[in-house]
Every structure is written in C-alpha cells, then in structure tokens.
Amino acid sequence: MNPNTPRRPGTMRAITQRRYGGPDTLEYGEAPRPVAGTGEVLIRVHAASVNAADWLLMHGEPLVARLAFGLRRPKTSIRGRDVAGVIEEVGSGVTRFAVGDAVYAEVEAGSFADYTVAPATRLALMPKRLRFDPAAAVPIAATTALQGIRDTARVTPGNTVLINGASGGVGSFAVQIAKAFGTEVTGVCSPRNLDLVTSLGADHVIDYTREDFATGEQRYDVIVDLVGNRSLAEYRSALTRRGTLALASGTGGRLLGPIPRMLSALFLGMFVSQNLRPLAAVARGRDLDALRDLVDAGAVTPALERIFPLADAAVALRHFGEQHAKGKIVIAVELQETDSC
C-alpha cells in the first residue's frame, strides 16, 4: 500500500500481522476502523513507540504467551501498544475524558494504526511539556520504571540504586525516576551509551566491558535488573545485607521466558535477608498521571533514538531487535512538522 493512497470509508492505515515471525511478517495496509465500546475511547493516533513486548509478541515468544495471544496466529492482528493521540470518540460510561483531549496510554494492541481504542482506566492527559512523538515513548517503559523504583524496590531518599541496562527504554526512565526519588544512581551500559546515561542524571556510570559491578566492592541498596545477564547469586553479591533486587528482565528460554527465573527469585527470597522481587508492570492511568507530573516538573524527559514513519514500522522493529536502541524508538503515525522533546 502506498502511504498516499486514499483509503476506503470505514478503514484506516495499520501495521498488521497474520502469522508469528520476524519483521518480514508485518504488513502495511488497510484495516477496519475500530469503534469505542462501553468504558472505552477511540483515539486518533499521532504516535506510537516500540517496546520489548512488541518484539516478543511479534515472534510469539515465550511460547507460553500464545495461550493468551493466540496459539497459531495472533488473535489481534494490529501491532503496537504505546499510543499518544487525540480522543475522537467517547464510549458510554466515560466521564473523565472528552473528545479533543490529548492523551497517552498503553493499549492491549493496535496502536500502529490511524486509530485505536483504549479503556478509559488506562488513559491519562498528556504532559503539557511534550508533543506527541516523545509522549508516545512514555507509557510502557516509564510505567515499568516507576513501578519498579517506587513499588517493587520501594526506594527511599539516600538509597544507592544500580540500574543494569540503564540506556534502554525502561532503563533511561529508571535512571531519571530514581534520581527524582532522591537516590544515588549508578547506571550500567555499553561504552557507546556512557554519555547518554550521564546526561540522564546518573551519579556514576559503569562500562560493563571494563568493570564488573558484581565483583566490585560497592554494595547497593537496590538493583534493578533490566537485562537478565547475571545469576541471582551475582546480583545478591552486589546487594547490601537487606538490599532489594527488582527483576524486570524479559529474557529467558523460548518456552517459558523469564518465568523460571522469577519463580527462583521468589523461592530463594523466602530464605535470605535480601528482598528478591519480580516486577510485572500493570497498565494504570493513575501512574501515567504521576509520570505526567514528573515530566511537567522537568524531572523526566523521554530519550528518543529515532522516529520512523508508520509505513516503516517493520524497519523500526528490526532496528529495535538487532541494534540495541539507545532510549526509545517512536513510530510517527500522523507526521508533525516539529515534534521533539
């Protein structure tokens, strides 16, 4: 489909997928325009962003996830979960939002399209400080970071916090949120991302090719694991006696993914003084409200690596999976003249 081809009535542009696999399974074309149901709103999408969840669900991995998302093929054909846009239609029972509101949210699926629907409970008004492209980078990654720092790790001012994977989508938000909570932050990343992590406000930055935080003398009150490349024993060796490990890594075997690792942490945590806690983020509009306040206060700014047009969503996913993006990758659905942080 040519991006400039007129669309038939009742349809929209969308990135669809009819079988599990790599980026070559994504198709750019027409799809039926959704309708807001009870408790939902219809959003005209201005921008979306790419997350690890998009990469994993595109491949149908871990395989256990297919029990929820479709055994042989995706139940929902349109990809994408982060969205920033303008409310086009309000379903019955929705009183908090109105047509014309600029909002952002995490949806179940369908944001790589001109329109998507979302439950009103998942929405929040966009930060006034951001335009649509950077706002679309916030929902999944920043919510995961916020819940990891605030709820799972339960940080307090003065805590020493290590973020393993500090330059990625979640990590770039975790560094800033941890600093906003008054902690001393150490970020672990590759050599090419040292400047980025420093610019995000990290007090210390570790180049993992030259220094191993697990064998160093420093002990941390909190470690947020966003990579999953170290054993539980190695993480525990870098924690204080009553420190907390927040496991948010989505890596693991093809069948069960991170589930065995999370269960091992829960079991081991019953017998040690340290707190070993899996992080499973939940989409909530009230957390997006909290993030909006942090953004508008200047404490948090999305770090964007690249912006791709909707027609190049497959290219964006391939870049995400193969190039280890710095910060966030955004899909511009409705192109804007000057969209920046």
User: Which residue from 246, 210, 252 is spatially nearest to 229, judged by alpha carbons?
Assistant: 252
How many CB atoms are located within 10 Å of the residue 154 CB?
A: 13
Q: Taking residues 256-271, what's their average pLDDT?
A: 83
pLDDT in tens, 5-49: 556 768 999 999 999 999 999 999 999 999 999 999 999 999 999
- For the CA atoms of 146, 147, 152, 155, what is the dihedral angle to 10 degrees? 30
Please give the Cα distance from 165 to 82 (Å, whole number). 21
Please give the Cα distance from 33 to 9 (Å, whole number). 9
Contact 84, 135 (CB under 8 A): yes
Q: Taking residues 296-323, what's their average pLDDT?
A: 94
> Quick one: 84 exposed, middle or buried, by C-beta within 10 A (0-12, 13-18, 19+)?
buried
Q: Per-residue confidence at 254, pLDDT binned at 50, 70, 90? A: confident
Q: Which two tokens stand for residue 196?
A: 């980025």
Please give the Cα distance from 33 to 312 (Å, whole number). 20
User: Which residue from 98, 106, 2 is spatially nearest to 41, judged by alpha carbons?
Assistant: 98
The reported pTM is 0.92
Please give the Cα distance from 78 to 107 (Å, whole number). 11
Q: Which residues pair with 306 in a beta bridge?
A: 329
Please give the Cα distance from 189 to 214 (Å, whole number). 14
Q: Per-residue confidence at 3, pLDDT binned at 50, 70, 90? A: low
Q: Which two tokens stand for residue 229?
A: 């490349």
Q: Which residues pair with 308 in a beta bridge?
A: 331
Q: Look at the chain and count its residues.
A: 341
Q: Give just the sign of the alpha carbon dihedral 259, 264, 269, 274.
A: negative
Q: Which two tokens stand for residue 256?
A: 């069960």
Contact 15, 25 (CB under 8 A): no
pLDDT in tens, 321-337: 886 678 999 999 985 44
Ramachandran class of 257: left when φ > 0, alpha when ψ lies in -120 to 50, beta otherwise: left
Share of the chain above pLDDT 70, in %: 94
Mean pLDDT for the chain overall: 92
Please give the Cα distance from 270 to 44 (Å, whole number). 47
3-state secondary structure 98-109: CCCCEEEEECCC
How many CB atoms are located within 10 Å of the residue 214 CB?
A: 15
Q: Tell whether omega for the bond before 62 is within 30 degrees of 0, i.e. cis.
A: yes
Going along the chain from its start, the domains and CATH numbers come out as: 11-138+302-332 (3.90.180.10), 141-278 (3.40.50.720)
Q: Is the pLDDT of residue 338 over 50?
A: no
